[in-house]
Amino acid sequence: VTEKITIIGTGNVAHHLGKRFKEKGFTINQIVGRNAEKAAQLAAILGADFSIKLKKIKKDSAVYIIAVSDDAIVDVAKKIAKNIDNQLVVHTSGSVPSSVLQPYIKHFGSFYPLQTFSINSQPNFDDIPIFYNATPTLDAIRTPPQYFQDFLEKIALSISKKAYLLPDDKRIILHIAAVFVNNFTNYLYTIGEDILKNEQLPFDVLKPLIAETVRKIENNPPKDMQTGPAKRGDIATIEKHLDYLNNHTPQYLELYTLLTNQILKNK
Amino acid sequence: VTEKITIIGTGNVAHHLGKRFKEKGFTINQIVGRNAEKAAQLAAILGADFSIKLKKIKKDSAVYIIAVSDDAIVDVAKKIAKNIDNQLVVHTSGSVPSSVLQPYIKHFGSFYPLQTFSINSQPNFDDIPIFYNATPTLDAIRTPPQYFQDFLEKIALSISKKAYLLPDDKRIILHIAAVFVNNFTNYLYTIGEDILKNEQLPFDVLKPLIAETVRKIENNPPKDMQTGPAKRGDIATIEKHLDYLNNHTPQYLELYTLLTNQILKNK
């Protein structure tokens, strides 16, 4: 692999993407970040140069991956624009259309790995679906010339077994679904822990149940795996639960009621 | 192991508990169920007798496990009472106090495995926490005499590595927490699938994310693992999501709003 990659950002996505690209033989050309210490640290791990100056980034990368928070993307694009000519610039956001780059960048796109990254965990990259899109312009500079979308597909399939071309307006849907199954699910775990803590019971006792809940949907649609008092229409049990919540943890009463009513309705 | 066990019920709990007890060398004395075919089938698997007559169950078991739906427990107790003298009778419900057995049964208790059982999945029993309680009366009949609670602990630890003595009024709390982390989580998976289906995207793309969400809480409190737009206070993204939901799947708007507000509040 001879393609050089510049990564802008030093957070979890920058970190994990950078490591994975390096592992697969790509050259990480430069890490660019506002925080010099973090940029230097990540650059050292990846064997890359680093810079804190967006306006002076190196020009010789094939692709520039903007892995910063959503509200900083446009500002980054503005600042790097002067040094970007025919190179491809993508961002990694689930919610921001790649077209926000258009006023500043000629060849733009997105490169969205659908996963929750945290500093201490090493996800299995092979399984992470990567969703990409780019202006389908032919890159005449390269030898052989190729479409930017094909280029993104190629690098996506270098680091994962799953790559999907997906237009901007559909990516947000993935992100919403991800919020439900990841962020909201984690919040339900927090509630479980909190309810047990009130009674000096350890959260650990719920972990086999949590693991089994996931195991059951590996090969079955979640709709078919629904169980519990609401699914059974077991009103007596639901009323006991509401009564307990009302008396002990009323902050979860509304959520219990809403979820129960929706499951009852879809039963 | 010489203790004989009678199981009343032929559903998932009866099935999995029976198989596990047999695997660990217990004798399943009799399976009792309303449906003759199901009772015969389970009895055959377990090398047990079977009966459809609650009033004529065999008297020579050490413990009778009532593994039927919550609203049938009292009726079962009434009907078997005539043949129960000093034997122990427990039920497996998370929500029903064992004291509902008291009017009919002298030595009663509960034996609650905290897990979601389904017919096609083989959970790892070693890890399933079992919560038990019983009237702490000495069983003078047995040799050596022992307290019923000790007996339940002993059989619980024969089939699992985790057994906890827990009074009736606390068991319901486990059940409520289980509803949040299992039943409600599964419903969130269903929503994720439904949102993707609207856009012809396969649910499979969410599975690595779901697996990672669980993996992150193996060694960390879920509260510390919370991520997402609400946790970040990323109102711009939240508004885009609300806008999409409002236009495409309004049935999930209220739930998204409630969960987001609660995470925002606890951030």
Per-residue pLDDT of A111-146, as tens digits, reads 999 998 887 778 899 999 999 999 877 777 777 778
Q: pTM score > 0.90 for this model?
A: yes
Res A229: pLDDT: 94
Residue A41 pLDDT greater than 70, yes or no: yes
B-chain CB neighbours of A245 within 8 Å are 176
With beta carbons less than 8 A apart as the criterion, state whether A173 and B198 touch: yes
Q: Is B11 on the interface with A (CB under 8 A)?
A: no
B-chain CB neighbours of A258 within 8 Å are 254-255, 258
Phi and psi, residue A83, nearest 5°: -95, 5
The Cα–Cα gap between A200 and A205 comes to 12
CA A226 to chain CA mean position, Å: 27
Q: Is B95 on the interface with A (CB under 8 A)?
A: yes
Mean pLDDT over residues B161-183, rounded?
Answer: 95
CA angle, residues A175, A43, A128, in degrees to nearest 5: 30
DSSP state at residue B203 = G
Give the pLDDT band (50/70/90) at residue A157.
Answer: very high
**Could you read off the pLDDT of B79-88 as tens digits, one per residue?**
999 999 999 9
The DSSP element (H or E) to which B34 belongs, if any, is none
Res B8: pLDDT: 98
Res B3: pLDDT: 83
Res A13: pLDDT: 95
The Cα–Cα gap between A209 and B31 comes to 26
The percent of residues above 70 in pLDDT, for chain A, comes to 99
Burial B89-120 (b: 16+ CB within 10 A, else e): bbbbbbbbbbebbeebbebbbbbbbbbbbbee
- Among A126, A185, A239, A247, most B C-beta atoms within 10 A, so best to mutate, is A185
More confident position, B121 or B170: B170
Mean pLDDT over residues B48-60, rounded?
Answer: 96
State how beta strands A107-113 and A130-134 pair.
Answer: antiparallel
Mean pLDDT over residues B27-36, rounded?
Answer: 97
Mean pLDDT over residues A10-29, rounded?
Answer: 96
Contact B95 A229 (CB under 8 A): yes
Q: How many residues can be counted in chain A? A: 267
In whole angstroms, how far apart are CA B73 and each of B15, B80, B224? Answer: 17, 11, 41
Res B121: pLDDT: 77
Q: Is B250 on the interface with A (CB under 8 A)?
A: no
Give the pLDDT band (50/70/90) at residue A262.
Answer: very high
Mean pLDDT over residues B206-232, rounded?
Answer: 95
- Among A91, A120, A176, A259, most B C-beta atoms within 10 A, so best to mutate, is A176
